[in-house]
Amino acid sequence: MALKRKSASNTAPAAKKPKFDFFAPRPAQSAAAPSDSSFSFNTKGDKCTRLTTWNVNGIMSVDEKILRKYMEAEDPSVLILTETKYSKGKPDLMCFKRLFKHQFWGVDPKQGCVIWDRYTFEIQATGAQNRVPGWEETSGRYVELEFEDLSIVGTYVPNSGENCKTMDLKKRWNEALRTHLRTLLETKPVIWAGDFNCIMSKKDIDSTAEAFWNKMSGLTEEERIGMCDILYPPNSEEPVLVDVWRHLHPEDEEHTHFSSKFGGWRLDSFMLSKDLLEKVDSCVIRHELRDKKLSDHWPVTLDVAVGLLGSR
């Protein structure tokens, strides 16, 4: 018996659905941002340098028009970005090109840390480091600029993972970072900035997040102990690095990150050597960006009187 021939079809086979890439930048938000995208911030103090740290949650997903207006209003001399999720060279963002002369990326940019700097060669930075010595497991989370009188460190601290499954990895990171920061502090003051992925106090979370206290990554006692080991020398109640926002706002309850499920968290800040605290003019969280659909984090800005950074 003859077999019936299948009829030919001109229809092309359906294309396979592309595999989801977690580290690929998110597409720009389709939701309309508020029509008023202007910003007005505090004036920088005399002889102060402005530094800003911000978890952008995908640098290429940010609305560049709003970003440009924000950056022009903020006008930082040094910008530390975390969770960049960018792995193909340097992003082609004109607002950054116009404001900053130089950029220093971690070894693996998709892991997320970069320092943008206006005046590196004018202020003669003495060196740059893009990895934590002794840390090889997850590159790209660390960038360091060394100057004659201080060091600036930017980090995107590893998350301990769902059900804290990567807690051992985070412990190894903490140990390597603690050792290196101690070495830096032996010779000069340090400004350490970024997303620390650790909550030290219930004052740093809202009522929604309190339900997860000691139950999820970033909120565990083990992580708080690890952070304390970095901030405090052994057998000492005096820290060598101080959370400057909390130092200036001892009772305030503000946040730098929000999700509808897990609530508000203060994850991003600046840690300063104690001898720099008297030079601080202000440290503020830019809540003005919360409804701008740029990121699920908001920038934190520090004004500090360290003239060697070429503040203008």
Catalytic site residues?
156, 195, 297
DSSP the chain: -PPPPPPP--PPPPPPPPPP-TTSPPPPP-SPPPS------PPPPTTPEEEEEEE-SSGGGS-HHHHHHHHHHH--SEEEEE-----SSS---HHHHHH-SEEEE-SSGGG-EEEEES-HHHHT--EEE-S-TT--SSTTSEEEEE-SS-EEEEEEPPP--GGGTTHHHHHHHHHHHHHHHHHHHTTS-EEEEEE------GGGB-HHHHTTTTTSTTS-HHHHHHHHHHHS-TT-SS-SEEEHHHHH-TT----SEEETTTEEE--EEEEEEGGGGGGEEEEEE-GGGTTTTS-SB--EEEEE--GGG---
CA pair distance 277, 271, nearest whole angstrom = 10
Residues contributing to the annotated binding site: 55, 83, 195, 197, 296-297
Residues contributing to the annotated binding site for Mg(2+): 55, 83, 195, 197, 296-297
Instruction: Tell me which residue of 35, 44, 29 sits closest to 302, measured CA to CA.
Output: 44
